[in-house]
Structure 1
Amino acid sequence: MRIRSFQLSDVNQVMELLQVALSEDCYEDTKCAFARQLSWDSELIMVAEVEEEIKGVLIGTIDQNTGCIYRMAVHPEYRRRGVGRSLVSAMEQRFQQRNVRRIMVAGDEHNKAIMPLYEAMGYGASKFLEAFQKLGIAAARTLTGSN
């Protein structure tokens, strides 16, 4: 397995993965957030590649000095194989490179199923950002400087 930054040539595979791995509602929310983050900073989108096929994706963002893990999707056939843990570790390293002071996990309804993974990686309840459901709005204000 290889973890790397998203590349524009990955867009079709990532969109297919999101559709397979997420519920319909979650997919709709995520594809908009994915497009916004892609336009701002594609290096905060990490992919897990197995035999040149994308089997996992993690979308992160930075709001001031806080990194946020917004959404993770892992192909159902590759779950519980360390893909998610590897993606989170890679994002943590990326956040460290960017001098992020703290990391939060979006605690929206769509992430509830994978909260045990985050908890096992040291993200206790105080690290879940319940109000981060609307990635684009909060991040857009910070990134554009508008309030």
Structure 2
Amino acid sequence: MNIRSFQLSDANGVTELLAAALSEDCFENTMGPFARQLSWDSDLIMVAEQDGELIGALIGTIDQNHGCIYRIAVHPDFRRQGVGKALVKALEQRFQQRKVRGVWVAGDEHNKAAMPLYEAMGYGASQVMKAFQNLSILAHS
């Protein structure tokens, strides 16, 4: 498995992965923030690939010098194999390089299924941002 930053050639593959891994409602709510983050800083979108196939994606952002893990998606055939953990670790390294003051997890209804992963990686309740309406990645423009 290879974890790397998003590349423009990944656009269709990531869109297909998000559609396969997320609920329809979550997918619809994710596409706008995904596009905004691509236009700002695609280095904060991490992808996992195996044998040339995209099997996971993680959308992160930095807002007011805080890192935010916005959305994670792992293809159903590759869940519980360490893909999500590897994606989070890669994004954490990116945040460290950027010297963010802290890291938050977006605690919306669509991230409930991923909360055990975040908790196992040390993200406690104090790092789950429940009210993130002002997060720039979500701003409608």
Query: Normalization by structure 1: what TM-score?
Result: 0.91
Equivalent residues of 1:69, 1:104 under 8 A apart = yes
Task: Please state whether the residue corresponding to 1:55 is helix, strand or coil.
Answer: strand
Aligned partner of 1:127 in structure 2 is: 127
Aligned partner of 1:145 in structure 2 is: none
Cα RMSD for the two superposed structures: 1.7
Stretches of structure 2 that go unaligned for 5 or more consecutive residues are none
Stretches of structure 1 that go unaligned for 5 or more consecutive residues are 142-147
Aligned partner of 2:2 in structure 1 is: 2
Task: Please state whether the residue corresponding to 2:4 is helix, strand or coil.
Answer: strand
The 1:10/1:137 distance shift into structure 2, 3 A limit, reads: closer
Aligned partner of 2:13 in structure 1 is: 13
Aligned partner of 1:101 in structure 2 is: 101
CA distance in 2 between partners of 1:138 and 1:30 (Å): 9
Deviation at 1:136, TM superposition (A): 4.3
Deviation at 1:101, TM superposition (A): 1.2
Aligned partner of 1:55 in structure 2 is: 55
The 1:133/1:111 distance shift into structure 2, 3 A limit, reads: farther
Equivalent residues of 1:62, 1:139 under 8 A apart = no
Identity %: 71
CA distances 1:89-140 after superposition (whole Å, capped 9, x unpaired): 0000000000111000000000001101000000000000001256546668
CA distance in 1 between partners of 2:113 and 2:131 (Å): 17
Equivalent residues of 1:66, 1:102 under 8 A apart = yes
Deviation at 1:64, TM superposition (A): 1.5
Aligned partner of 2:37 in structure 1 is: 37
CA distance in 2 between partners of 1:139 and 1:60 (Å): 15
CA distances 1:6-35 after superposition (whole Å, capped 9, x unpaired): 000000000000000000000001111100
Equivalent residues of 2:47, 2:56 under 8 A apart = yes
Amino acid aligned to 1:32: G
Query: Size of the alignment, in residue pairs?
Result: 141
Equivalent residues of 2:56, 2:73 under 8 A apart = yes
Equivalent residues of 1:5, 1:45 under 8 A apart = yes
Task: Please state whether the residue corresponding to 1:131 is helix, strand or coil.
Answer: coil
Stretches of 4+ aligned residues off by more than 3 angstroms = 133-141
More helix by share: 1
The 1:71/1:15 distance shift into structure 2, 3 A limit, reads: same
Task: Please state whether the residue corresponding to 2:132 is helix, strand or coil.
Answer: helix
